[in-house]
Amino acid sequence: MSQLVKVLRARPSIFGRRYLATASSATPSSSKFRQTLDNGPGLDDFISGEVPDRIVLGNTNSPRLPSYLKTSIPSGESFNKIKKDLRGLGLHTVCEEARCPNIGDCWGGGKSIEGRNTATATIMLMGDTCTRGCRFCSVKTSRTPLPLDPHEPENTAEAISRWGLGYIVLTSVDRDDLADGGAHHFAETIRKIKQKAPHILVEALTGDFAGSLEHVSLLAKSGLDVYAHNVETVEELTPFVRDRRATFRQSLRVLEHAKKEGVQITKTSIMLGVGENSDQILATLKGTAFHFKSSLSTIVDHSGVELRAVNVDVVTFGQYMRPTKRHMKVDRYVEPAEFDKWKKVAEDLGFLYVASGPLVRSSYKAGEFYIENVLRKKQSSSIPPLESELTQTDSSREQIV
């Protein structure tokens, strides 16, 4: 012991000196920050009562969130019940994964005039992890997601039958890792729902199945009532907004083929505020009218008569809201008046129903009520409804929205 003490006393430099892992000199950023603090208001400024200029924190170059896009924190008995059912059965929702601002409104629900439960959630099938990485979407991504849950179709049908709904929306992550993109799993879920609750109308918001029309047919013939697939944005911005494997024209082919397979109503959605301009929106709508809205005849006229073949019935417009700082920035916040303008433009082009507003999403509850009423009328009558019966007055549409 005494030997060790002698050694330590003989070499004091080892223990008497401080060794730093990093350089002790201040970095340029820390020096700049210290200088800002030194030049800022001190204690005397506050005591004197003279208020200095307001200090604004954060990024002042980004557009501020308008008041009409702010929503209340979700809560309530219905909200908690739906959340409990989903957790108990191991189900996922796009409401949570995509951070939808309307979750409180949809899950909170209530009762309609007919006494029907209006609370609903958009079930997201095939897990919570997508194989694609769209720049606007907050859903988790991976090249190798977990295998499909074979009990999910049954569990989903069980949960939906408990809620006493008249209309439900199913969606899914993209599963490019599967040979069929998950089409059989999706179709089986729809069949299970129809077996347990035949009265429920089912909307399926699908991916593009990598352009496989065979898999689109499988979904279209599964018993669904509404086939939805979102083009998301104008064609010019598609490469910058969506995953590189998704294209505008491929989405049009999916919608066109679904209608050809006998689907009653097809539907798509467009986000605003990602960098598009009015000319591009108008061109997209004319394109959607050109491709989507059918007429009594399909005549190709080289003098400029439009070919209306794809026949999409419903279009929705909503504000893009950046989910996290890792996603693409909001280019601008679109005013409600502009949404009203595009609603009127689309209605004038002949769409069956248009939902347009800052908080409108592709799975929009008010729009679902309208679509449900149209489908119920079709089911109750063997005579095809007239165009005048399908296109209600603007006042009745406004009551729904």
Gap between the Cα atoms of 346 and 352, Å rounded: 9
Q: Does the annotation flag 100 for ligand binding? A: yes
CA-closest candidate to residue 186, choices 146, 157, 165: 157
The tokens for 246 are 């998704």
341-387: pLDDT as tens digits: 999 988 888 888 888 999 887 776 656 667 777 777 777 664 444 33
At residue 297 the predicted structure's pLDDT band, cuts being 50, 70 and 90, is very low
pLDDT, mean over the chain = 76
Q: Decide yes or no: CATH 3.20.20.70 for domain 73-289+306-380.
A: yes
Sign (positive or negative) of CA dihedral 288, 289, 295, 299 = negative
Residue 308, C-beta contacts closer than 8 angstroms, at least 6 positions apart: 289, 290, 291, 292, 293, 294, 295, 298
Which range of 44-48, 282-286, 299-303 scores highest in mean pLDDT? It is 282-286
| C-beta separation of 364 from 355 below 8 A | yes
Q: Does the annotation flag 363 for ligand binding? A: yes
Query: Domain map of the chain by residue range?
Result: 73-289+306-380
84-109: pLDDT as tens digits: 777 777 777 767 766 777 676 676 66
Q: Does the annotation flag 67 for ligand binding? A: no
| C-beta separation of 123 from 160 below 8 A | yes
For residue 337, what are the CA distances in angstroms to 135, 189, 255, 356? Answer: 27, 40, 29, 10
By the 10 Å C-beta count (0-12 exposed, 13-18 middle, 19+ buried), 141 is classed as middle
Indicate the range of 52-61, 77-86, 198-207 predicted with least confidence: 52-61
Gap between the Cα atoms of 267 and 311, Å rounded: 9
Q: Does the annotation flag 24 for ligand binding? A: no
| C-beta separation of 349 from 292 below 8 A | no
Task: Tell me: pLDDT of 281 over 50.
Answer: yes
Q: Does the annotation flag 95 for ligand binding? A: yes
The DSSP element (H or E) to which 258 belongs, if any, is helix 248-260
Gap between the Cα atoms of 328 and 299, Å rounded: 42
Gap between the Cα atoms of 215 and 257, Å rounded: 10
What's residue 74's pLDDT? 61
The DSSP element (H or E) to which 269 belongs, if any, is strand 265-272
Residue 340, C-beta contacts closer than 8 angstroms, at least 6 positions apart: 356
Gap between the Cα atoms of 69 and 365, Å rounded: 17
Residue 170, C-beta contacts closer than 8 angstroms, at least 6 positions apart: 122, 123, 125, 156, 186, 189, 190, 202, 203, 204, 205
175 half-sphere exposure, CB direction, 13 A CA radius? 23
Please tell me whether the overall predicted TM-score, pTM, comes out greater than 0.85 for this model: no
Task: Tell me: pLDDT of 150 over 50.
Answer: yes
Three-state secondary-structure class, residue 198: coil
CA-closest candidate to residue 266, choices 294, 305, 303, 236: 294
More confident position, 397 or 205: 205
The DSSP element (H or E) to which 271 belongs, if any, is strand 265-272
Residue 261, C-beta contacts closer than 8 angstroms, at least 6 positions apart: 216, 217, 220, 221
Q: Does the annotation flag 31 for ligand binding? A: no
Q: What angle do CA 271, 213, 355 make, to 5 degrees?
A: 25
172-216: pLDDT as tens digits: 999 999 999 999 999 999 999 999 999 888 999 999 999 999 999
Indicate the range of 28-32, 46-50, 313-317, 383-387 predicted with least confidence: 383-387
Q: What is the mean pLDDT of residues 326-331?
A: 92
Q: Does the annotation flag 137 for ligand binding? A: yes
Q: What is the mean pLDDT of residues 234-261?
A: 92
